[in-house]
Amino acid sequence: MDEFIVLWNISFAAAAVVLLGWAILSHRFNDGIVIKVGLGCMTLGFAVTAHALSNGLDCADLRMLARAIALVNIGALTVAGGYLLRTRAGRVKKRRKTDWAEFDDHASFRPEA
């Protein structure tokens, strides 16, 4: 039963690495750099978890596993913080300088009819 649990954790960690890596590299997600850094931390943490569990556990691997879990938690907090920043920034109406001025010198050119 213990081997089944370890194999289940290895397969979940490997699937999480693949899915999070796809989310980082995909253009479908409109996320910022903060969320991408958090997803990267989570991906690294799950990769280290899968590696530590696949080689068998000893005292050194337990330290590595604790650091990997900390990396996953830091990544999750970073993703949550980035999400909150993006949702809060969406409520504030922002203006650009180009909304009030000409975009370039040729924008005001109108051919005579």
Which pLDDT tens digit goes with each residue over 56-113? 776 677 888 899 999 999 999 999 999 898 888 666 665 665 554 555 555 555 556 5
- Count the Cβ atoms, other than its own, within 10 Å of residue 46: 25
Taking alpha carbons only, the member of 9, 91, 97 closest to residue 50 is 9
Model pTM above 0.75: no
Which pLDDT tens digit goes with each residue over 22-60? 999 988 877 888 999 999 999 999 999 998 888 877 667
- Across 14-40, b (16+ Cβ under 10 Å) vs e yields bebbeebeebbeeeeeebeebbbbbbb
What are the CA-CA distances from residue 107 to residues 19, 87, 97 (Å)?
A: 45, 33, 15
Taking alpha carbons only, the member of 52, 51, 44 closest to residue 75 is 44
Question: How far is Cα 67 from Cα 10, in angstroms, rounded to an integer?
Answer: 16
Residue 18 confidence (pLDDT) above 90: yes
